[in-house]
Amino acid sequence: MTKQEQKDKAYAEYLAIKEPAYKEYQSIEEPAYKEYRVIEEPALKEYQAIEKQAYKEYQAKCNEIDGKEEKIKIIDGKKYKLVD
């Protein structure tokens, strides 16, 4: 038997072990992943809705801050910013 034939035989033996193990893994993983998605999707949507609203409030606050007219008073030629 040549080296390549020996390698091919060893690879076939590897696949004979690997493939059934992978199929068994998939038979466990797929249902578990589906259950996870059933829980995860609504939770993600709820988080996104909360985060979106929070970001809108943040933007509104920034716009409010940017829209405020700064009160500056000049005393003795120096500018002072009045703080509320």
Mapping DSSP onto H, E and C, the string for the chain reads: CCHHHHHHHHHHHHHHHHHHHHHHHHHHHHHHHHHHHHHHHHHHHHHHHHHHHHHHHHHHHHHHHHHCCCEEEEECCEEEEECC
Give the number of domains in the chain. Answer: 1
Q: Sorting pLDDT into bands at 50, 70 and 90, what band is 84?
A: low
- 17-48 per-position pLDDT tens digit: 999 999 999 999 999 999 999 999 999 999 99
Q: Which domain holds residue 72?
A: 3-82
**pTM reported for the whole predicted model:** 0.50
